[in-house]
Chain A
Amino acid sequence: MTGLLRRLAAGAGFAVAVCAGAIAFHAVLPMAAEPRVIRITAKKFEYNPQKIVLKKGVPVVLELVALDRIHGFRILGLGLRADVLPDQAVRVEFTPDKAGRFVFACDVFCGDGHEDMDGVIVVEE
């Protein structure tokens, strides 16, 4: 069930870890359009945007880039995490397979305010 999340890390060898089977494979749809790309920037101590609304079953690409230093990007509820690097976009493609609110947060300690660095992905039916 896992392993179907495509890893589109920009730098060769850069790892995007998938922990759980929360990501559904999306079938190749007839005339499937390119997935929507959502760029998320990270800097001390916030993401922009902080709220992202997705549709269940619709593939999406998150393009992560840090503006100052390394941060983390982890969505426990979707079993997804990546390091977010400065000057290097990390692309994470997935298809949400369940509706709900999923908090994402920085899991690479980045200073006094690290604890407040988070956002939310809302997956609608």
Chain B
Amino acid sequence: MQAQFDRRDFMKLAGYGGVVFATGLSPAYAAAAGKDFFFVQLSDTHWGFSGPPNPEAASTLKRAVAAVNTLPRQPDFIMFTGDLTHTTDDPKERRRRLAEFKEIVAGLAVKNQRFIPGEHDASLDKGEAYQEFFGRTYYAFDHAGIHFVALDNVSDPGAKLGQAQLDWLKADLAQIDKDRPIIVLTHRPLFDLQPEWDWATADGKAAIDILTPYKNVTVFYGHIHQEHHHMTGHIAHHAATSLIFPLPAPGAQPKRAPVAWDPAAPFKGLGFRSVGSGDAPGNPVIKQYPVA
């Protein structure tokens, strides 16, 4: 990781709003998590959107794919945290958008790709079309000593994880040591960031309660189309920029209307990020990249 992200490199990128976050890990897992690794998070690509907030909507995702492909070192895997497509009432059109999205991201050099839905993909049909293309909407996997949990707080249009998923989460984590590093991936914030704007998960607190006994938990999510960093107790929550249009800061204005496209600075506020093991094993280091 250090070879990949030296400090000078980071300082330069900090100009884009990138910030380093570190969460301590027990030495017991330093060995297991010792392998340098990083993944790339892309979020809220909203394939199928068209409108003044992004006159380059038809090219933005493709530019992001190209930008990821030019990273000097390629990520271990790529994580998409929802709103892959922009919503539509037409089930055929939804499938068309999902198929096109899948075809475009097949152009990523890294073939290890993981997905979760956003409400635009899944809330109108409870995830039916999404699952045809991408399978399960919540799941767990291990990588480099870290336990990853992907949660679905969108297939229920009321922004709930639901009891079945919470039970699954509890059972999944029951097999995990309390000091094992855990990374949670989800679309909506699990905490009440701005409930007036649906920037919350109705039963997110139940998930946080299940996660709280674990000492090293970091949550990466999307939905709010901007970077945001928040702690609930010792759990860090990091929101990602989008790849379609930025949204205003929480509560900054009455409506959550998109930030207007700036012709003088196209793609401003859009981007993706890498999350890496950092200078101490398992300490997530977040780096923000512009899309163009």
A residues contacting B by CB (< 8 A) are 70, 72, 76, 83, 103, 105, 107-112, 115-116
Q: What residues of chain A lie closer than 8 Å to B157, measured between beta carbons? A: 70, 108-110
With an 8 A cutoff between CB atoms, is B262 at the interface? no
B246 to chain A, nearest CB (A): 14
A115 and B255 contacting across the interface, CB-CB below 8 Å: yes
Interchain CA distance A115-B224 in the complex, whole Å = 12
B196 and A103 contacting across the interface, CB-CB below 8 Å: yes
The SS class assigned to the B binding surface is loop
With an 8 A cutoff between CB atoms, is B256 at the interface? yes
With an 8 A cutoff between CB atoms, is B238 at the interface? no
B87 and A112 contacting across the interface, CB-CB below 8 Å: yes
A13 to chain B, nearest CB (A): 17
- Greatest chain B CB density within 10 A among A109, A111, A116 is at A109
B contact residues, range: 10 to 19
Interchain CA distance A103-B255 in the complex, whole Å = 11
B246-268 interface bits toward A, Cβ cutoff 8 Å, 1 = contact, 0 = none: 00000000011100000000000
Q: What residues of chain A lie closer than 8 Å to B213, measured between beta carbons? A: none
B198 and A109 contacting across the interface, CB-CB below 8 Å: yes
B86 and A112 contacting across the interface, CB-CB below 8 Å: yes
B258's nearest neighbour on chain A, judged by CB, is: A115
Tell whether A72 pairs with B255 under 8 Å between CB atoms, given A107-B198, A109-B198, A112-B88.
no
18 contacts across the A-B interface (CB closer than 8 A): A70-B157, A103-B196, A107-B158, A108-B157, A108-B158, A109-B87, A109-B119, A109-B123, A109-B154, A109-B198, A111-B87, A111-B89, A111-B124, A112-B86, A112-B88, A112-B89, A115-B197, A115-B256
